[in-house]
C-alpha cells in the first residue's frame, strides 16, 4: 500500500466508520436521557449539548492529535506541535487540520458577515426605537447584560433575535417593535438576554459545524438537535421569567414574532407549532405559579466540554496511537493479501 494513501484511509475511516458509530452511541445515550423518568424536557441541556457536539468533535480532535503524535511519537506534546525537526512528517495531519480549520474559519466568517449585514436603523423611527430600547435596558435589572448590545434594525420583517459570536448583540426590528408594548418588549429582551449570556450563537455554530462534518450523525441526531434547541428556547423563557420578565407579555411577544416569516432566523425562538404550544403553555402556567430554579443547569457544561476536549487532545500523547497503527498495518496486510 502506498504510504501516500494512508492519510486518506485514516481520514475516511474516521469520517465513515468512527463518526457514525460515535453518533449511534450518542443517540442511544440521548434516547435513554430523554426517556428517563428523572430527566424532563428542560433538564440536562448542557450534557445533551456536549453529547451532540462531542460525538463529532471529540473523535476528530483525537484523530488530529493522534496523527501529529504518530508522526513524532517520541517527542513531547509541545515538540509535536511546535518544534519538530522534520516538518515534512507532520504534513499529513497538518493538512487535514488546516482543512478543518479552514472550514471552521469560513463558517465563522459567514456567521459574522450575516450579522454585519443586518442594517442598523438610522431613520427617525429607528432613532426613536433605539432611545426606547436604551431606556428599557437601563430601567430593568434583568436586562443588565444587554447594556450597549441592543440595536434597532430596519431590515424588512425583522422581529427580535440575537446575533454575533464573540460579542453577541440583540437586534430589534423597527416595524415589529412598534406593535409591542413596553412589557412585551422588555420580556422579549429578557429572553434574548439569556441567549447573550450563554453565547448561544457561538454554541449553535459549533453544533452546526460538528454535525456538518458527520453526515450520518446529522441524520441520526437531527431529532435530538431539534428537541435540544426547542428546550433551550423554553429554558430561556423560564430563566427570563425567573429574572423578572412577565410571562404573559413574553408569550404575546413570542406569538407575534412567529407571525412574519423571515428566512434564515427563528426570531424569539421558533415557528414550529409544537414548540410554540409548549412554550406558550409553560408561560401560561408560569403566570399562575412562578417557575422553580433548577440547580443543575448549564453553567458547568462549557468548562466540562473544554476540559474533555483537552483530555482527548492529550490522550494520544499519554496512551500512544495504537488504533491508528493497527488501522495502518491492517490496511497494508489486507491490500497485500488482496493484491498478491
Residues that bind another protein (CB under 8 A): 34-37, 39-42, 223, 226-227, 230-231, 248, 251-252, 255, 258-259, 261, 271-278, 280-282, 284-285, 287-289
CA distances from 259 to 72, 114, 262, 272 (A): 58, 22, 9, 11
Q: Whose Cβ is closer to another protein: residue 149's or residue 238's?
A: 238
CB of 45 to another protein, least distance (A): 12
CB of 42 to another protein, least distance (A): 6
Could you tell me if 285 and 272 are in contact, meaning their C-beta atoms sit under 8 angstroms apart? no
Cell of 229: 434547541
Task: Give 12: exposed, middle or buried? Use CB within 10 Å, 0-12, 13-18, 19+.
Answer: exposed
Q: 3-state class of 172 per DSSP?
A: strand
Q: Whose Cβ is closer to another protein: residue 292's or residue 338's?
A: 292
Q: How far is CA 254 from the centre of its chain?
A: 22
CB of 26 to another protein, least distance (A): 16
Residues 6 or more apart whose Cβ sits within 8 Å of residue 36: none
CB of 181 to another protein, least distance (A): 12
What is the chain's alpha carbon radius of gyration, rounded to the nearest angstrom? 24
Q: Whose Cβ is closer to another protein: residue 77's or residue 287's?
A: 287
* Helix residue spans in 14-44 (DSSP H): 19-35
CB of 282 to another protein, least distance (A): 7
Q: Whose Cβ is closer to another protein: residue 95's or residue 219's?
A: 219
CB of 185 to another protein, least distance (A): 16
Q: Whose Cβ is closer to another protein: residue 122's or residue 259's?
A: 259
Q: Whose Cβ is closer to another protein: residue 131's or residue 255's?
A: 255
The C-alpha atoms of residue 143 and residue 191 are separated, in whole angstroms, by 9
Amino acid at each position: 500500500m502506498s504510504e501516500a494513501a494512508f492519510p486518506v484511509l485514516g481520514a475516511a475511516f474516521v469520517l465513515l466508520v468512527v463518526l457514525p458509530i460515535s453518533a449511534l452511541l450518542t443517540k442511544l445515550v440521548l434516547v435513554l436521557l430523554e426517556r428517563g423518568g428523572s430527566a424532563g424536557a428542560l433538564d440536562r441541556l448542557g450534557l445533551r449539548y456536549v453529547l451532540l457536539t462531542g460525538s463529532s468533535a471529540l473523535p476528530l480532535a483525537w484523530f488530529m492529535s493522534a496523527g501529529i503524535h504518530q508522526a513524532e511519537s517520541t517527542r513531547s506534546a509541545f515538540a509535536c506541535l511546535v518544534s519538530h525537526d522534520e516538518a515534512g512528517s507532520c504534513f499529513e495531519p497538518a493538512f487535514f487540520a488546516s482543512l478543518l480549520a479552514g472550514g471552521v474559519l469560513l463558517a465563522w466568517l459567514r456567521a459574522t458577515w450575516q450579522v454585519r449585514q443586518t442594517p442598523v436603523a438610522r431613520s427617525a423611527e429607528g432613532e426613536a426605537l433605539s432611545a426606547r430600547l436604551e431606556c428599557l435596558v437601563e430601567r430593568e435589572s434583568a436586562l443588565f447584560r444587554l447594556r450597549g448590545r441592543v440595536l434597532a434594525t430596519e431590515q424588512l420583517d425583522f422581529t427580535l433575535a440575537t446575533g454575533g459570536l464573540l460579542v453577541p448583540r440583540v437586534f430589534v426590528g423597527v416595524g415589529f417593535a412598534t406593535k409591542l408594548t413596553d412589557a412585551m418588549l422588555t420580556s422579549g429582551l429578557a429572553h434574548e438576554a439569556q441567549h447573550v449570556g450563554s453565547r448561544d450563537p457561538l454554541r449553535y455554530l459549533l453544533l452546526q459545524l460538528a454535525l456538518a462534518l458527520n453526515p450520518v450523525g446529522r441524520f441520526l441526531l437531527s431529532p435530538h438537535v431539534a428537541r435540544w434547541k426547542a428546550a433551550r428556547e423554553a429554558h430561556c423563557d423560564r430563566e427570563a421569567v425567573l429574572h423578572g420578565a412577565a410571562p404573559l407579555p413574553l408569550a404575546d411577544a413570542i406569538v407575534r414574532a412567529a407571525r412574519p416569516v423571515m428566512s434564515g432566523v427563528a426570531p424569539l425562538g421558533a415557528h414550529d407549532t409544537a414548540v410554540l404550544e409548549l412554550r406558550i403553555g409553560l408561560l401560561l402556567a408560569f403566570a399562575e405559579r412562578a417557575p422553580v430554579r433548577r440547580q443543575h443547569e448549564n453553567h458547568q457544561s462549557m468548562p466540562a466540554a473544554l476540559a474533555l476536549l483537552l483530555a482527548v487532545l492529550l490522550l494520544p500523547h499519554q496512551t500512544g496511537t495504537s488504533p491508528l497503527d493497527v488501522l495502518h498495518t491492517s490496511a497494508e496486510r489486507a491490500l497485500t493479501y488482496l493484491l498478491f
